[in-house]
Structure 1
Amino acid sequence: MIAKTFQDAQNAYTAYRLPTTTVVTAFESDLKKGLCTEEAHIRLRYYGKNALPSPPSKPLWRQILAQFWTPLTILLLIAILISLLVWWIEHETPFPYESLTIFVIVLFNGILGFLQEYRADKAMVALQAMEAITAQVLRDGEIQVVATAQIVPGDILLIEEGDIIAADARVLEAIALRLIEGALTGESVPVSKHTAPIGQKVSIGDQRNMVFCGTAVAAGRGRALVTETGTRTQIGQIAGSLQRRVEKKTPLQKELDRVGKWLGLLVMGIAIMMSLVILLVDRIGTLRELVAILLLVVSLAVAAVPEGLTAITTIVLSLGMQRMAQRNAIVRTASAVEALGATTVICTDKTGTLTKNEMTVRTVVTPSGRVDFTNVGYDPGGHAVQAGQPLNDPILLGEVTAALRAAILANNAVLRSDNGLWTIQGDPTEGALLVTAQTMGLQKSSLEDCFQRLTEIPFSSERKLMSTVHKDRGGIDSEQKVLYSKGAPDVLLARCTSEQIGSEHGGTCMRPLTAERRHAIRAVFEELAADALRTIGMAWRVIPEETSPALEQMSEHLEQELIWLGVVGMIDPPRPEAAMSIKQAQQSGVRVIMITGDHPITARAIAYELGVMQQGEHVVTGLELEQTSDDRLKEMVRDVAVYARVAPHHKLRIVQALKANGEITAMTGDGVNDAPALQQADIGVAMGRAGTDVARGAADMILLDDNFVSIVAAIEEGRAIYANLQKCLRYLLSSNIGEVLTMFFGVILASTIGLIGEAGTAIVAPLLATQILWINLLTDAGPALSLGVDPPDPRQMHRPPRSQRHPLISRSMWVSISIIGVIMTIGTLFILDMSLPGGLIPGNGNLRFAQTMTFTTLVLAQLFNIFNARSDTLSVFHTLLANRWVWLAILLSLLLQGAVVYLPFLGNAFHTVPLHPFDWLLSLTVASTVLWGQEMAKWGRHLLKGKNMVK
């Protein structure tokens, strides 16, 4: 367990005031090995998880109570209490069946609503758990990736550009390390970090040798020893304020709110009109009759107002998001799901997204010639060949060795072999260079023994190169310091003044770089790029003695007057499945734009192969973008499919131009500087493997496999989710309209259809309050949710994206919903009229039988309506058996309705009588007109569309 030394020292000092060695010793850690795994587990039990406190969850009883805390439900409960009071005073019936039945239904409805919301919450929590936040630590002498929650005091963090710091820590190593600490200090400018102790007490903003949990690494890299975790971190102490955030509603939720309020007002108006008609026609005069009216109209309002829309929408969204996660795309926000269905442009990186990100060096070109390599993947067991023959030219061999030496020393990756399986830890490009160097017999560990690294200028997307400075302990002058650089060949070549012929130890000469030679070298770049090879240049120089003291403050001015060593050409083959996904995206009306930092010729070759661009199209470079105005760029982005040699700020301009043109844009990114473009895009897409923490934090969607295929799959799922939401709405709204119109016109036309009260009945209506609420409970829950998991329409990826200006419920959809509601009403009232003596179609049943038939017919009509809701254009018979959950929901509803009709105690509760098989057949036949009517409407639309096409 951690020693008391540091805890005692904290009485007078804190970590930033002590030397690094003292802090490491106090925490009983090790600079080279870190903690052992067993000790880390002990400390985890002692200190607890490295996590901020989660927001206090709402108590279960409050979540359940919230289901009944709506105006209509409260009004219904009050009406139930009044009804029970009236029954207790008058005792006209032996038992208050209706009041208690309504109460039980309301109770079940509330529990069902709670279960829906609980399931939705659990689904969202499961999705959040998929966003596993990890960090690199040194344990047992090896670099390990662990969950940030498992980090403990004494762990040594490995920090790289783009990371989010996992805990408060004392800096042990800082190589051009700069952090953005605005979340903690309010300072927007990145802060440089160092390792020296600070002798006096200073504020957090001045603790330049500390890094703090939640801050982002803007540049550089380093190591730091964890001093505090969880709630003891600086940000953990203020975590309470971070939890009080207001959840913003998405456009879809706002639209559903508007629809719900509009329908609520409409239904309440109809209910008031209906109650007035009953009061006038039935000549109500007793308190019991007034209470019966109140129960009826409030029950109708409760059943007809789609209060469950929000819960059902949340469940449909969360289930769809889980399906996306299964297809390697974690969508973090509901608004992103909405945007996915409307995406018109995908702006994608090339490396790792359209390609495999398994770099393999194919060739090295030096001043004296070209050497090819036969390596495949990360196995260094290949060979070096010159013109198809084994390499034996000593001058060329020396140049290739010198170039690869630079590639190894200016390199932070690690090549490992585990039982013959070679793996790379670090950047794939750097790993490929290590593989090739090892093929030539160069071992990184041996070289690092001879060339002690002193400092580094890390790679950045703006500079496009990295450099390291070493002490040459194997040379004649053991104090000589040399700099090795690697990076974009054209950028590096511009910093070179000469080139090296032969090796740097014996038999070398430095030849000045003339204009002709520079032109010839650039021709090599283009030749390699034309073969779809990614190019990396290498160079070096000796550091003058007078510059050595300034190495701690090493700056880019040292990366001048370099000596050119050569260029490496490596291949990152396109993913075989990418071309098919690009074609699928294009068929669905989604443009694919490739944005890369690679050479334009390489970009063009890959784009042709994948079908992103066609022959004759122009590749726009970052330099051209710099010279293009915003207005001109808005015109340019309409046609350009490939951008090469771009910097992250160019991505932001491209996104802004596309959005200015009204495009719904998905943008991929992985680096810190990609964050602005990811935030600006409608859907920011971060890489789950190669991406930085900052990029993932700024993104709306994270690709677990960094694969373009997953973006297209997410768009397909996004369209399916939106379509399923429309199915749920089509079903719920048309069914509710059918219920409301049946009750309204049943009361209005009561005398016409023979609906006359019998002795002992308080009021006369097509359905009782208990029956209305039962229909709502029976048909709105299971069937609606079953539509939420309907499989995607196979034709949806052959249609253009929907416009975000297009409402969720279009005018044509409202017409369809209204027609279904009217057909449902006519069929139900037809059955009511047939079941009663008198009316337009005289029958021979009593009021209880007629209400049972009406009740059953309306239930069956809504069950038939499930099939209508699945498509507004496609016949139900095309996908009749595609969704088993629909059939299970229908079967369960039929069984429950049968129980209400045939079980005596339920018959008393719902005022039903047993039905004859012929009665069921009649109800079933009439109810099916809902289905046949919609099928005829679809057929008519198809015929009309065909005629228009002929014209």
Structure 2
Amino acid sequence: MPVTSADPIIDEPYRQTAEEVVAALKTQPQSGLSLTEAARRLEHYGRNELDAVPPRPQWLKFLDQFTDVLVLLLLAAAMISAVIWLQERDTTLPYEALAIFAIVILNALMGYIQEARAERAAAALRQMSATHSSVIRDGDRRSIPAAELVPGDIVFIAEGDTIPADARLIESTSLQTVEAALTGESLPVSKHVAPITGTPELGDQHNMVFSGTTAVYGHGSAVVTATRMRTAMGRIAGMLEKAPDEITPLQRELDRVGKALAVTVVVIALVMIGTIFLVSDISGFSEIFDVLILGVALAVAAVPEGLPAVVTAVLSLGMQRMAKNKAIIRRLAAVETLGSATVIASDKTGTLTRNEMTVRRLITASGGANLSGTGYALHGDIQLVGPQSRGEPLQFELTRALTAAERANNAVLQERDGNWSVQGDPTEGALIVAARKAGLLPEVLDARFARVGEVPFSSERKLMSTVHTDAEQPERLVAVTKGAPDILLARCTHELVGRDAVALTEARRAEIMASNDALAQEALRTLGVAFRSLPTDRPDHDAFEEDVEHDLVFLGLIGMIDPPRQEARAAVARAQAAGIRSIMITGDHPVTAAIIAAELGITSGGRAITGVELAAMTEAELDRAVQEVCVYARVNPEHKLRIVKALQRAGETVAMTGDGVNDAPALKAADIGVAMGITGTDVSKEAADMVLADDNFATIVAAVAEGRAIFSNIRKFLRYLLSSNIGEVMTMFFGILLADVIGLTGAATGGVVLPLLATQILWINLVTDGAPALALGVDPADKDVMRQPPRPRGEGVITGRMWVGIFFVGAIMTVGTLFVFDAALPGGMIEGSGTLAYGQTMAFTTLVMFQLFNVFNARSDERSVFHGLFTNRWLWSAVVLSLLLHACVVYTPFLQDAFSTVSLNTGDWLFCAAVSSSVLWLRELSKIATRRIGGDTISAGVSERSA
């Protein structure tokens, strides 16, 4: 839609002040756009997305189904068959040509529908994993999809966020962004809010942030100036190449298996064609044509060329189920890897716990206080404890400690429909709630202590500081700091005792650390708070650095708890039963971590390794430690990478969680990187294979179970398709090779001697390889899927034992079909009295029923077919549909002519069913043997992993 003069578009916003840009865009920094205006602008400007490559027309996608060489050969065969019919006119209609053409069209339709379904599933997943942005609208801070941003929106930018649109900065606190995607500059660029004169290059517009770049340090807010193709990224979008479709290792392996089968089948077809020419009296072009078309039909039937589409559809549908259960898979390959995970290395806060911090204890020089209430609701009291619990000094100390905690804070406490929530860090939210319980109101604190600077938290320092003016003492600035007590205390020289700052002695430092350890013994997470006064005439008044975090006055310790999730303990036990070891990685105190880990069942009294210990370990020492230790405390994100690599060297398949910018290397290195959907940064989500929408450990375990189920279902339909197709090939091959033995030669009246016709083989492929195979792809998960050991690392999708079962079933089909064929014909090993058409119809029906019985076998290589026999209603529906379609071919006159079939009586059907059911009983016997041989090994494997 064209832009009108009434639309707020700003040229060169970097030249103007932030206030001028905000005014020109008709918005407000405090309240943002109204919901009505935002909706109007969204309709006018369109969604904040780069113009996509025009979608391929549906009719072209349908024509793509006919590009396979074998399919083209079939079409050519149908045309030749029609030409021969025009010359000979031996039937009313060209039934063979019509049958081949109809089957090719139906196959194409099935392939097209499967691919369309996979595309829709993938599109839905992309929508689920879309980037969100924090904005203010109608005065409320909220998270919206980045695609819904419009010019004039006020966006908040935090460390790790991907910038969603071009925007002019309004506030910047040590904000740095990486703009390599636009400028090629790999170093972070510092941002400010001052106007820029001249005509700077894109990389020198330091008061602007650009779509597609990443914030790596600090935070700020900005007003959106351009979206969609008007952004700097949009202007160079023409140079961006369309990303290729993702090909997973599983699909590559299936492609390799398919090609190997194709070569094998082509060789067999050539041998078969040669054999037919040798053993049959072939004369005339039409008979030669019949032999050649048989070879093509056999190749089409035997090669599972539709496997990639079926696999993609099954993976995508499985991913949608995961997404509904809060696990959003970003890469198809992760589904395969999930089933073989042997270790889940998880953050504690928010993943194993609720991430709803609640302050329980405060300890200062004169005593302490206990706080009641849970979560972020402002319900609860403060009870003073200690020898001076009724004294004014303790009250003053607690007020100062909570004031410092509330001010050194970037979280926002919100109430909506009676529910309280926190935008920002949960720990900071808990501090705000504690301050409110103490009667410290935000308007009072804002009036006295206005923020003028910040030194952002970093995982290296484990501290965060803010600097404020003091309206009651305008001659000074106040710096307040919160962070890890041991690190903070080392930077303190004094302690607040009553209203006085008293020098810290070594004895007093030891007492404070003993109090800190006592809180940790109660599984409380501890924070220290401190302050110092600064002169107002500092030369670097606008650029505060880490030097403000020295010579501090210690205010006190704050103990808070993030209770374990109720479902986490059950999830840990479930993972253990599946042979998966759970590991906790946290920045908390090692005692706290050990207590929570023991409560969750991750470890029972085992030791915790700290980041300091880990850093001092050699590679060999760490390799030994990771095989025993399940708890890592006080670790930096950089330590995660070492832990991942050590676990992988030990042969483990690792799922690793993370949420910060610095977690990205570990998430990339892990076999399955898992990012937090609620607290995670955009950088961590981009690096991850999976995003947890609820940040819940139980969701990871559930996703592993779903991943195992999906992989199991892929194996099910592979087992079914390959065994059925091999049964067809072997039936044709040995039927021709043993034509004299089974009475086929005697029943023939001359010409080509075949147990099944080409159209019959194609029909079997269409009816039995379609709906039943897809139904196996959505088979319900086995109840004991999480009682089995993980799939060995590097194990192929088709194992040696699977191949044995596949050929065993193929052999049963071959023997049984040829037995029925022989019994239907005069002569051979079993005397019959039927015509060749009757014998072929009997063999045709038997082979179809063999495959329909086999579909139940294929659900497991070990479990009895009668276990959960009726749990998959889609499978039963597919089998009934296939039988009805085959009955149409047997009894409908038009289809009888097309497929050269004759009507069968009830006895014939019962005979075919009895023989074809043998694949069920014989496979059951082989499964019993497999269970007896392999049962002890499986149980031992699970026990070993759990230990």
Which TM bucket (shorter chain)?
A: over 0.9
Name 2:908's counterpart in structure 1: 919
CA contact (8 A) 2:337 2:672 kept: yes
Question: What is the CA–CA distance in structure 2 between the aligned matches of 1:418 and 1:897, rounded to whole Å?
Answer: 61
Displacement after TM superposition at 1:92 (Å): 3.1
**Conservation of the 8 A alpha-carbon contact between 1:6 and 1:23:** no
Residue aligning to 2:878 = 889
Instruction: Give the residue type in structure 2 aligned to 1:316.
Output: V
CA displacement at 1:95 relative to structure 2: 2.0
CA distance in structure 2 between the aligned counterparts of 1:648 and 1:757, rounded to whole angstroms = 79
Instruction: Summarize deviations over 1:695-735 as a string: whole Å, max 9, x none.
Output: 11111001111110000001111111111111111100000
Q: 1:865 to 1:402 in 2, by over 3 A?
A: same
Task: Tell me which of 858, 878, 888 is aligned to 2:867.
Answer: 878
- Partners of 2:239 and 2:722 lie apart in 1 by 41
Q: CA deviation at 1:243?
A: 4.2
> Aligned partner of 1:497: which letter?
T
- Which of 317, 320, 328 is 2:318 aligned to? 320
Q: Say whether residues 1:519 and 2:510 are aligned partners.
A: yes
Residues 766-845 of structure 1 correspond to what in structure 2 (within 5 A)? 766-845=755-834
Describe how 1:221-620 pairs up with structure 2 within 5 A: 221-387=219-385, 392-418=390-416, 420-473=418-471, 475=472, 477-502=473-498, 508-547=499-538, 549-615=539-605, 617-620=606-609
SS in 2 for 1:236: helix
**Structure 1 residues 33 and 294, CA gap change in structure 2 (3 angstroms):** same
SS in structure 1 of the partner of residue 542 of structure 2: helix
Q: Deviations over 1:186-230 (max 9, x none)?
A: 222211100111111111111111100111110111111111001
Distance 1:111 1:2 in 2: 44
In the alignment, residue 531 of structure 1 is paired with which amino acid? E
Instruction: Summarize deviations over 1:851-890 as a string: whole Å, max 9, x none.
Output: 1101000000000001110111111112211211111111
- Decide whether the 8 Å contact of 1:267 with 1:301 is kept in 2: yes
Cα RMSD of the aligned pairs, angstroms, is 2.0
Q: Answer whether contact 1:375 1:436 (CA < 8 A) is retained.
A: no
Separation in structure 1 between the aligned mates of residue 592 and residue 187 of structure 2, nearest angstrom = 36
Q: d(CA) in 1 for partners of 2:284 and 2:419?
A: 88
CA separation in 1, counterparts of 2:855 and 2:509? Answer: 72
Is the contact made by 1:5 and 1:26 (CA closer than 8 Å) also made in structure 2?
no
Post-superposition offset of 1:7 = 7.2
1:239 offset after TM fit, Å?
Answer: 2.6
2:827 is matched by which residue type in structure 1? G
- Show the counterpart of 1:505: none
Give, in whole Å, the separation in 2 of the partners of 1:881 and 1:9: 65
Note the alpha carbon deviations across 1:109-129, whole angstroms, 9 max, x for none. Answer: 111111111111111111222
The aligned amino acid for 1:780 is D
Structure 1 residue identity aligned to 2:560 = M
Aligned to 2:945: none
Distance change >3 Å, CA 478–CA 759, structure 1 → 2: closer
User: Residue 655 of structure 2: SS of its match in structure 1?
Assistant: strand
SS at match of 2:744: coil
Gaps of 5+ in 2: 941-947
Match of 2:943 in 1: none
Query: For residue 508 of structure 2, what is the amino acid of its counterpart?
Result: R
Distance 2:235 2:737 in 1: 66
| Aligned counterpart in structure 2 of residue 667 of structure 1, from 651, 656, 663 | 656
Measured after TM superposition, the shift of residue 5 of structure 1 is: 9.5
- The aligned amino acid for 1:517 is R
Alignment CA distance shift 1:518-1:78 (3 Å) = same
SS of residue matched to 2:457: coil
Is the 1:55–1:243 Cα contact (8 Å) retained in structure 2? Answer: no
Distance 1:529 1:491 in 2: 16
Distance 1:580 1:600 in 2: 23
Q: Is the 8 A contact 2:890 2:904 kept in 1?
A: yes
Deviation, structure 1 residue 653: 1.3
Q: TM-score, normalised by structure 1?
A: 0.96
Percent of aligned pairs sharing the same letter = 53
Structure 1 counterpart of 2:22:
24
| Offset, 1:544 | 2.4
Q: 2:180 and 2:939 mapped to 1: Cα distance? A: 64
Secondary structure of 2:745's aligned partner: coil
How many Å separate the matches in 2 of 1:442 and 1:739? 81
How many Å separate the matches in 2 of 1:292 and 1:105?
17
Shift of 1:244: 2.1
Q: Distance in 2 between matches of 1:922 and 1:456?
A: 85
Displaced runs of 4+ in structure 1, greater than 6 A? 5-9, 757-761, 946-951
Shift of 1:904: 0.9
Encode CA deviations 1:896-923: one digit per residue, 9 max, x unaligned.
Answer: 1111111111111111111000000000
Q: CA offsets, 1:462-498, max 9 Å, x none? A: 221211111101x1x3242111111111121111110
Please tell me whether the aligned partners of residues 281 and 750 of structure 2 are also in contact (alpha carbons under 8 angstroms): no
SS at match of 2:557: strand
State the Cα distance separating 1:762 from its structure 2 match.
4.5
- Whole-Å separation in 1 of the counterparts to 2:382 and 2:437: 8
Q: Which amino acid in structure 2 is aligned with residue 309 of structure 1?
A: L
- The number of residue pairs the alignment matches comes to 939
Counterparts of 1:945 and 1:349, CA distance in 2: 36
C-alpha separation in 2, matches of 1:751 and 1:912? 22
1:32-83 Cα deviation digits (max 9, x unpaired)? 2222222212211221111112233222122111111111111121122222
What is the DSSP-based 3-state SS (H/G/I as helix, E as strand, rest coil) of the residue aligned with 2:350?
coil
Q: Which moved more, 1:561-570 or 1:425-434?
A: 425-434
Deviations for 1:507-562, whole angstroms, at most 9, x for unmatched residues?
x1111111111111111111101100011111111112442x31222111111111
**Secondary structure at 2:458 match in 1:** coil
Which whole-Å CA distance do the structure 1 matches of 2:459 and 2:925 have between them? 61
Distance in 2 separating the partners of 1:601 and 1:751? 82
CA distance in 2, matches of 1:634, 1:324: 33
3-state SS of paired residue (2:236)? helix
1:66 corresponding residue in structure 2: 64
1:720 to 696, 709, 717: 709
Deviation string 1:819-840 (CA, Å, 9 cap, x unpaired) is 1000000000000001101111
Residue 738 of structure 2 corresponds to 749
Asked whether the 8 Å contact 2:360–2:561 carries over to 1, the reply is yes
- 1:246 deviates by 2.8
| Structure-2 change in CA distance of 1:710 and 1:418 (3 Å) | closer
What's the secondary structure of 1:321's corresponding residue?
helix
Give the deviation of 1:379 after TM superposition: 2.4
- Structure 2 contact 366–386 (Cα < 8 Å) conserved: no
The SS at the match of 1:756 is helix
1:770-791 CA-partner distances (Å, limit 9, x unpaired)? 1100000000011011111111
Give the equivalent residue in structure 1 for 2:944: none
- SS in structure 1 at match of 2:312: helix
Distance of aligned partners of 1:16 and 1:446 in 2 relative to their CA distance in 1, 3 Å threshold: same
Name the counterpart of 2:95: 97
Q: Which moved more, 1:29-38 or 1:856-865?
A: 29-38
Distance in 2 of aligned mates of 1:95 and 1:126:
46
Give yes or no for contact 1:501–1:510 (8 Å, CA) kept in 2: yes
Q: Give 3-state SS (helix, strand or coil) of 2:409's partner.
A: coil
Moved more, 38-47 or 669-678: 38-47
Paired amino acid for 2:530: A
Deviates more, 1:596-605 or 1:750-759: 750-759
Q: Aligned in 2, Cα 1:329/1:761: closer, same or farther, shift over 3 Å?
A: farther
1:89 is displaced (CA, Å) by 2.3
Asked if 1 retains the 8 angstrom alpha-carbon contact of 2:740 and 2:746, the reply is no
| TM-score, normalised via structure 2 length | 0.97
